[in-house]
Structure 1
Amino acid sequence: MPTALPTGRRALLLLPALLLACSEPPAPPPADPRPVRVVTVEPRAGGEVVSLTGTIQAETEASLGFRIDGRMTERLVNVGDRVQAGQVIARLDPTNEENNLRAARAALAAAEAQLAEAQNNYWRQAELLRGGWTTRQRYDQASQQRQTARSALDSAQAQANIAENRLGYTELVADASGTVTARGAEPGEVVAPGRMIVRIARQGGLDAVFDVPPVVKDQAPANAAIEVALTLDPAVRTQGRVREVSPSADPATGTFRVRIGLEDPPPALRLGSTVTGRMQLDGGAAITIPAGALTRKDDAPAVWLVDPATQTVALRNIEVLRHDPARVVVGSGLTEGEVVVTAGVQALRPGQKVRLLGAAP
């Protein structure tokens, strides 16, 4: 049978175990600084080339519509058709206008007959007055009737001219050569005066149309030469000048619509083609960082900055003027000499220690 240990000896044996259980677990070793690539902010000289994407549109577009109302019986052109000046575009039912013209011509014939009768009566009264066979009163009445008949004839002639013009208005005629870009009514519809039947892009000039950010608009030099190239084939290119700038910004995008008048555009630049415009901006300092440095904070563009003293990172919002797949032009938020993380931005957290690649550990 085993012999029981004395109480004091048993306590001495349990003491190391109790001390081990009461001690705190050792602290984990500090995490190694995360390696990152950085770039030092340096303002870049002005004169930067900016590229924007736009479309080719006609210099002048006209919406053609009938001057009178009526039921459209035929539309002779469709979208994409080329039309010539004087070509008939569409027709209205002419029945009512033909009847109005016949009525006006009949009224004109009656007015001519009344004037002829009034003229004869006037000359007769004039001869009788010279021979003393009539009174001055009858002569004056004949003169007044002749004048009234002459005025009635003028009115009837004007009504006949109006009726004839309205009959001509039943045919919609192109006033200039061009290409049909849109249609607004179909045969069989009753159309109101002025309603767009077709829209025609007139020949004689092409514009490259761009939506330009405010900062680019403000930095653009006066009467700048702009190179416009076909996006699908950059070898197709031409030069242009600013022809029109919208005075107000688009409420949705905040950009300004700018139309560039093209000089001798090649045939490959067709209506609706997507083009790229390049322009040299005026001088002025600008900060440029790699596109990989850009991240977001509070739904706004931001970058990670490195504190050289503590080797820790912090997130800061910036204003982006423009960007492309390779770089970002910063409007505000960065100053010269600050260090920006360009690689590894998605794995950082505020206050985290980092190690700059290429620097001593």
Structure 2
Amino acid sequence: MTGMRLARGGVAAIGLLALAAGLSGCKETHSAAAPPEAEARPVRVATVALEPATDSVRYPAVIRPRVEADVGFRVGGKVIARLVEVGARVEPGMALAKLDPTDLQLQIKASQAQLASARSDAANAGGDFARYSSLRQGEWTTRQEYDRRKTALDKAEARVREVEAQLRVLTNSVQYATLVADEAGIVTATLVEPGQVVAQGQTALRVARLGAVEAVANIPEQQLGDLPKRRLSVELWAQPGSAVPGTLRELSPSADPGTRTYQAKITLDNPPPGLQLGMTATVTAALDHGGLVARLPISALTQREQKPAVWVLSQAAGSQAGPQGDAHAAGTLELRPVAVAAYAGDLAIVAGGLKDGERVVTAGVHKLDAGQKVRVWTEPAR
């Protein structure tokens, strides 16, 4: 029994020694392996594109004609016909609307009868004056009677001229019963309908003259001072990306009581084809300050010693996408101070500290360290 116990104890001792040797061998193998290299962090970047330093402001605007006239009849009466509709193009001399000419024609006939009577009175006065003139030469009548006959003749002749003038006015009035266009244009509003009785001078139609067009915008009072100095351009919403140079023609001297803004009229120097009145547009007022700036997302900004800075990526960082969408080639980061000139929406206008073509990190900038290895993140193809 004692021998069997000794044998079992020896076997156990041998097993423990073998296990210890195995564990020791594993530990030595693990310690001999090199430590893993730190993994490069993927980052989103934006490429710096320097452009001229320009301060731009944008205003909504509407395309209007430079000249839009309210036209109406020069006489009153009942409208019997309107010959144009809104949007119709008119030419000089084209009939636009008509009044009932019956009353005017009757007035002409009455004036013609008055003219005939006045001419008869003038002829009778002329005969009397001729007889009294002969009598005066022979001293057969008084000077007083002669002068009275001369006055009667003058009054009769003046009456003839008066009635003739009235007849010409009435003749013109018949012509005024037809409203005609003075210049080429487009009808923008119709304010009368057949059967309506209108007064003399009442607006019947609104006609926009062809030619110069303008963009009308409302300007806040704090931006009035430098508006005449700015370079103006107009971009139609219907033709995005096509800016038309403009010239400030008029700036209202008083503010609108409702919006407290000042109306500005910008004449389009070279209107594009397809431009229509009433189109919506954007007026851009730019002021050049000199130098170059870069527009970066605000998310790219961090701080260095309480001053703005950005993380600049070394040129070694590649942009090849791996299976998970990140890049293989790694680069390092440099925290570089920059000068921010202004903010425009979600963009920062950087006026100094960067070069054209450099890449800056635009996301997670507060979790990065100088010299940290990173790789450019690119969106995986879908």
Q: Look up the match of 1:55.
A: 62
Q: TM-score when scaled to structure 2?
A: 0.62
Distance 2:203 2:156 in 1: 43
Q: Look up the match of 1:13.
A: none
| Equivalent of 1:231 in 233, 237, 248 | 237
Given that 2:228 and 2:248 are in contact with CA atoms closer than 8 Å, whether structure 1 keeps it comes out as no
Distance 2:100 2:63 in 1: 37
Given that 1:115 and 1:146 are in contact with CA atoms closer than 8 Å, whether structure 2 keeps it comes out as yes
Task: Give the SS at the match of 2:225.
Answer: helix
Distance 1:323 1:71, change over 3 A: farther
Distance 2:184 2:205 in 1: 13
Q: Look up the match of 1:312.
A: none
Q: Look up the match of 1:122.
A: 129
Given that 1:216 and 1:281 are in contact with CA atoms closer than 8 Å, whether structure 2 keeps it comes out as no
CA apart distance, 1:289: 11
Q: Look up the match of 2:367.
A: 358
CA apart distance, 1:235: 4.4
Larger Rg: 2
Distance 1:324 1:180 in 2: 41
Distance 1:162 1:244 in 2: 40
Given that 1:219 and 1:282 are in contact with CA atoms closer than 8 Å, whether structure 2 keeps it comes out as no
Q: Look up the match of 1:266.
A: 272
Distance 2:296 2:120 in 1: 91
CA apart distance, 1:237: 3.4
Distance 2:249 2:343 in 1: 26
Distance 1:226 1:124, change over 3 A: same
Residue 134 of structure 2 aligns with an amino acid whose one-letter code is E
Distance 1:148 1:255 in 2: 63
CA apart distance, 1:68: 2.1
Given that 2:231 and 2:287 are in contact with CA atoms closer than 8 Å, whether structure 1 keeps it comes out as no
Given that 1:108 and 1:157 are in contact with CA atoms closer than 8 Å, whether structure 2 keeps it comes out as yes
CA apart distance, 1:126: 0.9
Matched, 1:143 2:163: no
Distance 1:142 1:225, change over 3 A: same
CA apart distance, 1:244: 0.7
Distance 2:197 2:348 in 1: 55
Distance 1:253 1:132 in 2: 87
Task: Give the SS at the match of 2:189.
Answer: strand
Which consecutive unaligned segments of at least 5 residues does structure 1 have? 1-44, 293-307, 309-321, 330-342, 344-355
Distance 2:72 2:282 in 1: 35
Matched, 1:95 2:102: yes
CA apart distance, 1:282: 6.7
Distance 1:326 1:180, change over 3 A: farther
Distance 1:80 1:73, change over 3 A: same
Q: How big is each residue's C-alpha offset from its partner over 1:32-76, in whole Å with a ceiling of 9 and x where there is no partner?
A: xxxxxxxxxxxxx98411122211110100011112221100000
1:1-361 aligned at under 5 Å gives the runs: 47-222=54-229, 224-281=230-287, 326=346, 357-358=366-367
Task: Give the SS at the match of 1:172.
Answer: strand
Which consecutive unaligned segments of at least 5 residues does structure 2 have? 1-51, 300-305, 307-341, 350-362, 370-382
CA apart distance, 1:323: 9.2
Q: TM-score when scaled to structure 1?
A: 0.65
Q: Look up the match of 2:376.
A: none
Given that 2:87 and 2:186 are in contact with CA atoms closer than 8 Å, whether structure 1 keeps it comes out as yes
Distance 1:198 1:259 in 2: 23
% identical aligned pairs: 37
Task: Give the SS at the match of 1:281.
Answer: strand
Distance 2:58 2:185 in 1: 30
Distance 2:141 2:343 in 1: 100
Tell me the C-alpha RMSD between the 2 structures. 3.1
Please identify, of 257-266 and 224-233, the stretch whose mean Cα deviation from structure 2 is larger.
Answer: 224-233
Please identify, of 80-89 and 136-145, the stretch whose mean Cα deviation from structure 2 is larger.
Answer: 136-145
Given that 1:72 and 1:189 are in contact with CA atoms closer than 8 Å, whether structure 2 keeps it comes out as yes
Distance 1:66 1:179 in 2: 18
